[in-house]
């Protein structure tokens, strides 16, 4: 399934869960259920922004963006993290008010039923989105999926809290649960924002991907023992992967022979790793480049 299709489905699901959870809060008066509904508003805003960023990320490279637009996805996950923090502040504010003025809950059975239905919708969608995010290597889709999973656990905690209020009559448990919800989603928001920052700093490729690259290069080095590879650097940009390195060949080789082998290596690497752009610089075996000797600016 396409990333944009899943995000549109996420938008529709967010609208449905907002209606269900808002109805649950309206019926019960529970500030815990209100916190759950507020988090669903964040889901909606995040899904809309993620859809916009994924659409931009899919644009092909152009003169102003020769490496493409794939980093736009990182802005989506950063925005989602900030929205989570905003929702947590709103939840905490509502909970403090309820601590100061406790009130009994009403129509608890119907309210909790609506919350459970909304959680089932979110859980099913989140599982599908997380699986597809790995297949498409989409950080925007992964951030949205993980946020939805957080929403599911949040709803579970709220349901338990509301049931405990009914069983014990301790009205303070309702705002206490809301505070717990706020703390949990702040933790998730921090994790999402850090993932975005980490990606924008050109993080190296994942260890399993690097291992596949190493195996591919080892095959060529074994077939042509006079050839060696070094000065490899890698980075990620959304769903794209980039690799730069040097290939040393005997000085007596013709340029045509060296270039032909380089083409084979690049083709093999890009066939092994989907979304990879491999750039290989040719050097004679007796020449070492100053690739890693860049001096910091004064």
By C-alpha distance, which of 25, 16, 4, 3 is closest to 178? 25
Q: Are 23 and 114 in contact (CB under 8 A)?
A: yes
- The pLDDT assigned to 152 comes to 81
Q: Which residues of the chain have pLDDT under 50?
A: none
By C-alpha distance, which of 236, 285, 14 is closest to 138? 236
List, for residues 221-246, the tens digit of each pLDDT value.
998 889 999 889 998 876 678 899 99
Supply the angle between the helices 108-136 and 3-28 in degrees, to the nearest 10.
Answer: 160
pTM of the model: 0.58
- The pLDDT assigned to 262 comes to 93
- The pLDDT assigned to 24 comes to 83
CA angle 75–77–79, rounded 5-degree value? 65
| Structural fold of domain 207-284 | Alpha-Beta Plaits (3.30.70)
- The pLDDT assigned to 260 comes to 93
By C-alpha distance, which of 217, 267, 290, 292 is closest to 247? 217
Residue extent(s) of CATH 3.30.70.1350 domains in the chain: 207-284
- Domain 3-200 belongs in CATH node 1.20.1510.10: yes
- The pLDDT assigned to 191 comes to 73
Given its phi and psi angles, is residue 30 left (phi above 0), alpha (psi -120 to 50 degrees) or beta?
A: beta
DSSP the chain: --HHHHHHHHHHHHHHHHHHHHHHHHHH--HHHHHHHHHHHHHHHHHHHHHHHHHHHTSPP-SS-TT-STTHHHHHHHHHHHHHHHHHHHHHHHHHHHHHS-----SHHHHHHHHHHHHHHHHHHHHHHHHHHHHHT-HHHHHHHHHHHHHHHHHHHHHHHHHHHHHH--TTHHHHHHHHHHHHHHHHHHHHHHHHHHHHTTPPPPHHHHHHHHHHHHHHHHHSTT-EEEEEEEEEETTEEEEEEEEEE-TTS-HHHHHHHHHHHHHHHHHHSTTEEEEEEEEETT----TT-PPPP-
Residue extent(s) of CATH 1.20.1510.10 domains in the chain: 3-200
Q: Distance (Å, rounded) from C-alpha 76 to C-alpha 88?
A: 18
Q: Are 125 and 132 in contact (CB under 8 A)?
A: no
Chain-centroid distance of CA 189 in Å reads 11
Q: Which two tokens stand for residue 166?
A: 């009914």
- The pLDDT assigned to 247 comes to 93
């Amino acid at each position: 399934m396409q990333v944009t299709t899943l995000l549109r489905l996420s938008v529709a699901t967010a609208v449905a869960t907002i209606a269900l959870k808002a109805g649950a809060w309206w019926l019960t008066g529970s500030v815990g259920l209100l916190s759950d509904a507020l988090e669903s508003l964040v889901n909606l805003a995040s899904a809309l922004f993620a859809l916009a960023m994924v659409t931009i990320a899919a644009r092909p490279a152009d003169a102003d963006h020769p490496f493409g637009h794939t980093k736009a996805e990182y802005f989506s996950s950063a925005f989602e993290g900030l929205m989570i923090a905003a929702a947590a502040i709103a939840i905490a504010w509502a909970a403090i008010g309820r601590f100061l003025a406790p009130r009994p809950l009403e129509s608890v059975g119907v309210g909790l039923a609506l919350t459970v239905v909304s959680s089932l919708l979110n859980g099913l969608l989140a599982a599908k989105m997380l699986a597809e995010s790995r297949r498409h290597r989409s950080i925007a889709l992964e951030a949205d999926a993980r946020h939805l999973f957080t929403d599911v656990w949040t709803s579970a905690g709220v349901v338990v809290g509301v049931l405990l209020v009914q069983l014990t009559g301790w009205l303070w448990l309702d705002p206490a649960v809301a505070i717990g919800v706020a703390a949990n989603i702040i933790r998730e928001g921090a994790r999402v924002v850090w993932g975005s920052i980490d990606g924008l700093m050109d993080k190296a490729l994942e260890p399993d991907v690097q291992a596949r690259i190493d195996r591919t290069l080892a095959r060529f080095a074994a077939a042509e023992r006079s050839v060696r590879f070094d000065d490899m650097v890698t980075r990620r940009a959304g769903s794209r992967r980039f690799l730069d390195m040097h290939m040393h060949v005997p000085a007596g080789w013709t340029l045509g022979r060296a270039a032909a082998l380089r083409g084979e290596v690049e083709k093999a690497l890009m066939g092994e790793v989907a979304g990879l752009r491999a750039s290989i610089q040719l050097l004679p075996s007796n020449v070492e480049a100053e690739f890693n000797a860049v001096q910091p600016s004064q």
